[in-house]
Structure 1
Amino acid sequence: MNLIVWLIIFCEIAFWVVILLGLVTRYIFKKKTLGLFFLALTPVIDLILLITTSVDLINGATAEIPHAIAAVYIAVSLVFGKSMIKWADDRFRYYVMKEGPKPNKPVGLAYAKHYAKSWLKHLLSYFIGTGILHLIIYFIHDKNRTEAMDGVIHLWTIVIIIDLIICISYFVWPPKEKKHH
């Protein structure tokens, strides 16, 4: 595996490690400022990935699928990062600290609306990510070195359309609350 693949793996692990460190520090050790510091490191991880990937491409590397995945990762992290941290925070507080309300699982039309908001975030991350990929294609200006970018853009376009179909289906057939026996 090349450096970029390892860097993406490192960044994904580091993202969840700093979130966990932030939550443990905030709730178990009662150090709110230090906990916030760890949570604030998540954009730094994205910056490291962005700089390293850019330097690799500027130095003449052929843009491969890992470079494209780095762009996707950065876009998804930018758009969903705050909500992923909130999701983890709510569950940590409830399941580990036994504090606060149980995390809400919407059903019916509320679920469909929640999914629609999530789809709009997915669409925003798609625009950011494919924008980054198109910039890479533009700046490298060599189809032989950027074929993988086009492939990821096409695949992500298919995924966003399928996700929209799923989103619409929840308005037609909203999920019902599970009955406990």
Structure 2
Amino acid sequence: MSTVGWMIVFCEIAFWIVIILGLVARYIFKLKRLGMFFLALTPLIDLILLITAGIDLYRGAVASTAHGIAAVYIGVSIAFGKSMIEWADQRFQYYVTKQGEKPKKRYGIDYAKHYIRGWVKHLIAYLIGAGLLVGLIFWIDTPSKTEAFNGIIQIWSIVLVVDLLIAISNFIWPTKEKAPSA
């Protein structure tokens, strides 16, 4: 695996470690400012990944799938980062500290609206990630060195459209709450 590939793995692990450290500091040790400090580190992790991928490409590396996934990771992290932290925060409060409300399961139109908001975040992640990839394609300006980026943009475009179709289908065929078992 390339340096960038390992850095993606490192950043994903580091992302969840700082979130867990932030939640533990905030709720277990009641150190709200330290908890906020750890949670605020998540954008720094994205910056480290961006710099690593940029330096690798600047030094003449052929753009690989790992470089492209780095751009996808950054887009997803920026678009979904806050909601992922809120998701983890709510579950940590309820399941670990036994405080807060139980995370509710969504059904019907409520679920459809929630899903479409998630799709909008997916679109934002796509615009950021694909924008980074297109920018890199123009910056490198050597099509043979950036072929992997075009493939990633094409696949992600298909995934985005499929996700939109799923979002729309939730309005047409809303999910129903399962009947309690006897």
TM band (smaller chain): over 0.9
Query: What's the counterpart of residue 139 of structure 1?
Result: 139
In the alignment, the residues of structure 1 paired with residue 82 and residue 132 of structure 2 have an alpha-carbon distance, to the nearest angstrom, of: 20
Deviation string, structure 1 residues 79-103 (Cα, Å, up to 9, x no partner) = 1000000000000000110001111
Query: What's the counterpart of residue 52 of structure 1?
Result: 52
Structure 2 unmatched runs, 5+: none
Query: What's the counterpart of residue 7 of structure 2?
Result: 7
Whether 2:127 is the aligned partner of 1:127: answer yes
Deviation string, structure 1 residues 146-181 (Cα, Å, up to 9, x no partner) = 000000000000000100110011000011112221
Alpha-carbon offset, residue 133 of structure 1: 0.2
Query: What's the counterpart of residue 87 of structure 1?
Result: 87
Query: What's the counterpart of residue 154 of structure 2?
Result: 154
The amino acid across from 1:69 in the alignment is: I
Query: What's the counterpart of residue 106 of structure 1?
Result: 106
In the alignment, the residues of structure 2 paired with residue 178 and residue 68 of structure 1 have an alpha-carbon distance, to the nearest angstrom, of: 40
Could you say what the CA RMSD is over the residues aligned between the two structures, in angstroms? 0.6
Alpha-carbon offset, residue 106 of structure 1: 1.5
Query: What's the counterpart of residue 32 of structure 1?
Result: 32
Structure 1 unmatched runs, 5+: none
In the alignment, the residues of structure 1 paired with residue 10 and residue 178 of structure 2 have an alpha-carbon distance, to the nearest angstrom, of: 38
In the alignment, the residues of structure 2 paired with residue 65 and residue 178 of structure 1 have an alpha-carbon distance, to the nearest angstrom, of: 41
The amino acid across from 2:60 in the alignment is: G
Alpha-carbon offset, residue 108 of structure 1: 0.4
The amino acid across from 2:50 in the alignment is: L
After superposing on structure 2, the runs of 4+ consecutive aligned residues of structure 1 that deviate more than 3 Å are none
The amino acid across from 1:131 in the alignment is: G
Query: What's the counterpart of residue 172 of structure 2?
Result: 172
Please state whether the residue corresponding to 2:62 is helix, strand or coil.
coil
Q: Give the aligned length.
A: 181
* TM-score, length of structure 1 as denominator length: 0.99
In the alignment, the residues of structure 2 paired with residue 28 and residue 131 of structure 1 have an alpha-carbon distance, to the nearest angstrom, of: 40
In the alignment, the residues of structure 2 paired with residue 160 and residue 33 of structure 1 have an alpha-carbon distance, to the nearest angstrom, of: 37
In the alignment, the residues of structure 1 paired with residue 134 and residue 100 of structure 2 have an alpha-carbon distance, to the nearest angstrom, of: 44
Superposed, 1:69-88 pairs within 5 Å as 69-88=69-88
In the alignment, the residues of structure 2 paired with residue 173 and residue 97 of structure 1 have an alpha-carbon distance, to the nearest angstrom, of: 37
* TM-score, length of structure 2 as denominator length: 0.98
Alpha-carbon offset, residue 43 of structure 1: 0.3
The amino acid across from 2:52 in the alignment is: T
The amino acid across from 1:106 in the alignment is: R
In the alignment, the residues of structure 1 paired with residue 30 and residue 142 of structure 2 have an alpha-carbon distance, to the nearest angstrom, of: 53
